[in-house]
């Protein structure tokens, strides 16, 4: 008999913990909608106690979603209460509480004497905190997940003891994270098999795994754990997450699907939605997908060498273990350009997962036309960039009124900018190490600011000489990160726009606590 593996998507929680990734509320809601289309089983929407914006995002996703929506919280009452409050109106709320169980975490993170002096004393305190947390969470909902953080490096006997105790207390899913991505597939598989042996009440809970990719083994470890009894896989789109990331959803799902000859497992993922979801997440987070990334990279279905092309022309199966169509890599038929109307645009946006109507459609169409005036054909990735831009609109944007850049092999790069802000105009010039640097310095001078630049990247969103350049600028101000994106066929203009957008969001945040940015806790 075939057995289902539940797909628990943590793109909006662990994925968003990726250094540099930041999503505003609308972007999170939009991604959650796309995850529903992808048909994941559980959406982990965030960590409500960590910031008001996280709380609001979880609340919005919970209010809207028809899926199980999980909220993460430490094993403490305030966090659990906050998770419950954020999920109050969710149709299927899941409280996901966690605490560290490995010796290294217990001794390193719970050093206070209030947890005890020796490792054994601290282990008792942690076990009690875990059980108390599950019992408290259970007063709010029946669907409780408990995670033993750093289970990958946890003593097997202690892990079994704590897992048995939390199931006894009411946990319905027990998650075994390889938090540091330390284990090997055979070792991790044995860990799951060992738990099934040792934990007497294990059949009362679903075994879940959550693997990190520090050694590049997250997907392999996940698949090995499934072979050994795990029935929920925690993963993220494009594998984004803390440090080297999480197990990638698309790789787990397609690994199971393509090699269904090896096992009896299945998922309910609508695999044709994988590509759209991947591109949306990349565009909103600014985390670029490496071209050779399995399943969703630009080169995943590209064949360069003659012998491969010859084989492909004769029979695609010679070099493809799955078809591009099976993961939704598009076969464009309608060409969008300056002659396209709102219906065509709306239909294409809808096929990409964006629900745009009424006034919003008017605004997107206006932006679409201004880009279409500069380039002949608008590709799907151009539209994704446009949508990312729309969703990240500052309340009071600093607008680029004028930009002139002088640069070349024999001249010092110089930029002049004129910026409009709240009815005033500011103009300045500066030299720099290159045209982008000159432009950023001119903006800082015009606005009398020091540099807050944290990172900068630029990429071409599509192929060809008329491709849109998408610049991403991140500013760091204390604990806060502000991400601006700018799009243009001219990459210097795109860079200036991105810088101004990030500065505008910072300005909004200063003026309004309820801002559009996410505290990444750095
Ligand atoms: C493996 C993972 O991905 S875990 C999830 C990681 N996600 C996040 O951290 C979300 C973003 N984080 C935040 O916004 C903040 O860290 C907050 C709001 C959660 C906490 O902020 P602060 O109260 O300032 O605490 P800070 O983060 O500095 O330290 C963590 C505290 O929680 C304790 N703690 C850590 N994990 C747990 C847990 N699972 N259960 C109970 N207590 C815990 C630590 O021991 C430490 O306590 P201490 O202050 O008594 O030493
Ligand atoms: C909180 C848990 C699930 C986690 O993110 C980890 O251990 O990596």
Any ligand 1 atom below 6 A from CB of 50:
yes
The pLDDT value given to residue 37: 97
- Inform me whether the pLDDT recorded for 35 exceeds 90: yes
- Inform me whether the pLDDT recorded for 73 exceeds 90: yes
Cβ neighbours of residue 268 closer than 8 Å, sequence gap 6 or more:
4, 7, 39, 41
What is the rounded average pLDDT of the residues 43-50? 98
Distance 505 CA to ligand 1 centre (A): 26
The pLDDT value given to residue 373: 82
Can you tell me which residue has the tokens 């250094």?
A: 19
Distance 84 CA to ligand 2 centre (A): 19
The pLDDT value given to residue 293: 97
* Domain 399-511 homologous superfamily, CATH: Alpha-isopropylmalate synthase LeuA, regulatory domain (3.30.160.270)
Distance in angstroms (rounded) separating the CA atoms of residues 453 and 451? 6
pTM exceeds cut of 0.90: no
The pLDDT value given to residue 367: 85
Interface TM-score (ipTM) > 0.95? yes
Minimal-distance CA residue to ligand 1 atom 23: 50
Cβ neighbours of residue 177 closer than 8 Å, sequence gap 6 or more:
98, 147, 148, 149, 150, 151, 152, 209, 210, 211, 212, 234
Ligand 1, residue 100: give the atom nearest the CA: 39
Cβ neighbours of residue 228 closer than 8 Å, sequence gap 6 or more:
189, 190, 192, 193, 196
Annotated binding residues for Mn(2+): 14, 210, 212, 246
Work out whether strand 92-100 and strand 3-4 pair parallel, antiparallel, or are unpaired. unpaired
Any ligand 2 atom below 6 A from CB of 177:
yes
- Inform me whether the pLDDT recorded for 76 exceeds 60: yes
The pLDDT value given to residue 50: 95
Would you say the CATH fold of 399-511 matches that of 3-285? no
Q: Which pLDDT band, with edges at 50, 70 and 90, does 474 fall under?
A: confident
Q: Is 290 helix (H, G, I), strand (E, B) or coil?
A: coil
Ligand 1, residue 177: give the atom nearest the CA: 1
- Inform me whether the pLDDT recorded for 31 exceeds 70: yes
Give residue-wise pLDDT tens across range 422-434. 889 999 999 999 9
- Inform me whether the pLDDT recorded for 332 exceeds 80: no
Minimal-distance CA residue to ligand 1 atom 44: 109
Give residue-wise pLDDT tens across range 477-497. 776 677 888 888 888 999 999
Any ligand 2 atom below 6 A from CB of 232:
no
**Higher-confidence position of 378 and 218:** 218
- Inform me whether the pLDDT recorded for 70 exceeds 90: yes
- Ranked by mean pLDDT, the top range of 135-149, 387-401, 432-446, 451-465 is 135-149
What is the rounded average pLDDT of the residues 219-235? 98
The pLDDT value given to residue 518: 43
Per-domain boundaries in the chain:
3-285, 325-391, 399-511
Burial class (CB in 10 A: 0-12, 13-18, 19+), 109: middle
Give residue-wise pLDDT tens across range 266-324. 999 999 999 999 999 998 998 989 989 999 998 898 876 777 777 777 788 998 999 99
What is the rounded average pLDDT of the residues 382-404? 81
Give residue-wise pLDDT tens across range 80-134. 999 999 999 999 999 999 999 999 999 999 999 999 999 999 999 999 999 999 9
Work out whether strand 6-9 and strand 42-46 pair parallel, antiparallel, or are unpaired. parallel
* Best CA proximity match to 204, nearest among 231, 179, 167, 149: 167
* The CATH number, out of the four listed (3.40.50.300, 2.60.40.10, 3.30.930.10, 3.20.20.70), of the domain defined by the range 3-285: 3.20.20.70
- Inform me whether the pLDDT recorded for 57 exceeds 80: yes
What is the rounded average pLDDT of the residues 63-68? 98
Cβ neighbours of residue 56 closer than 8 Å, sequence gap 6 or more:
25
Neighbour-count burial for 270-287, b at 16+ CB within 10 Å, e otherwise: ebebbbbbbbbbbbbbbb
Cβ neighbours of residue 450 closer than 8 Å, sequence gap 6 or more:
444
What is the rounded average pLDDT of the residues 401-424? 90
What is the rounded average pLDDT of the residues 49-66? 96
Minimal-distance CA residue to ligand 2 atom 8: 179
**Region of poorest pLDDT, from 5-9, 19-23, 76-80, 494-498:** 19-23
- Inform me whether the pLDDT recorded for 181 exceeds 50: yes
Distance 512 CA to ligand 2 centre (A): 32
Helix 249-258 vs helix 274-285: crossing angle, to nearest 10: 160
Average pLDDT, the chain: 91
Edge-first strand listing for the sheet containing 411-421: 399-408, 411-421, 424-431
The pLDDT value given to residue 512: 63
What is the rounded average pLDDT of the residues 238-243? 97
The pLDDT value given to residue 459: 79
């Amino acid at each position: 008999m075939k057995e289902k593996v539940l797909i628990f998507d943590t793109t909006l929680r662990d994925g968003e913990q990726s250094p540099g990734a930041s999503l505003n509320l609308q972007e999170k809601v939009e991604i959650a909608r796309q995850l529903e289309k992808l048909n994941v089983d559980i959406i982990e929407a965030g960590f409500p106690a960590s910031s008001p914006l996280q709380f609001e995002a979880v609340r919005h996703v919970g209010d809207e979603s028809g899926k199980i929506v999980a909220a993460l919280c430490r094993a403490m009452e305030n966090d659990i209460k906050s998770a419950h409050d954020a999920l109050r109106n969710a149709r299927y709320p899941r409280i996901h509480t966690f605490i560290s169980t490995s010796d290294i975490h217990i001794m390193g993170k719970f050093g206070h004497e209030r947890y005890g002096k020796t490792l054994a004393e601290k282990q008792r305190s942690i076990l009690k905190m875990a059980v108390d947390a599950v019992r408290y969470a259970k007063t709010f909902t029946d669907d409780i997940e408990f995670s033993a953080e750093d289970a990958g490096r946890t003593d097997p006997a202690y892990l079994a003891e704590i897992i048995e105790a939390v199931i006894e207390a009411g946990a319905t899913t027990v998650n075994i994270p390889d938090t540091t991505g330390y284990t090997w597939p055979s070792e991790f598989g044995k860990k799951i098999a060992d738990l099934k042996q040792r934990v007497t009440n294990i059949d009362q809970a679903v075994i879940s795994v959550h693997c990190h990719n520090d050694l590049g083994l997250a997907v392999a470890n996940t698949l090995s754990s499934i072979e050994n009894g795990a029935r929920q896989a925690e993963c993220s789109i494009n594998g984004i997450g803390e440090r080297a990331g999480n197990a990638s959803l698309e790789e787990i799902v397609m690994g199971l699907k393509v090699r269904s000859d090896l096992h009896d497992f299945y998922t309910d993922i609508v695999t044709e939605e994988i590509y759209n979801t991947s591109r949306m997440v990349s565009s909103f987070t600014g985390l670029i997908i490496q071209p050779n990334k399995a399943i969703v990279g630009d080169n995943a279905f590209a064949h360069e060498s003659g012998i491969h092309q010859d084989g492909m022309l004769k029979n695609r199966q010679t070099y493809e273990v799955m078809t591009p169509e099976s993961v939704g890599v598009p076969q464009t038929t309608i060409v969008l350009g300056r002659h396209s109307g709102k219906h065509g645009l709306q239909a294409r946006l809808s096929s990409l997962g964006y629900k745009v109507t009424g006034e919003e459609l008017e605004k997107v169409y206006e932006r679409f036309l201004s880009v279409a005036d500069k380039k002949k054909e608008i590709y799907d990735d151009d539209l994704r960039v446009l949508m990312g831009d729309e969703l990240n609109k500052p309340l009071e944007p600093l607008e680029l009124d004028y930009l002139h850049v002088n640069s070349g092999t024999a001249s010092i790069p110089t930029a002049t900018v004129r910026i409009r802000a709240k009815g005033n105009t500011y103009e300045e010039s500066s030299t720099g190490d290159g045209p982008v640097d000159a432009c950023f310095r001119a903006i800082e001078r015009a606005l009398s600011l020091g540099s807050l630049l944290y990172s900068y990247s630029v990429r071409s969103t599509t192929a060809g000489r008329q491709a849109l350049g998408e610049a991403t600028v991140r500013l760091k101000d204390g604990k806060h990160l502000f991400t601006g994106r700018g799009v243009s066929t001219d990459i210097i203009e795109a860079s200036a726009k991105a810088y101004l957008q990030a500065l505008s969001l910072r300005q909004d945040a200063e003026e309004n606590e309820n801002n559009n940015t996410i505290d990444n806790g750095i």
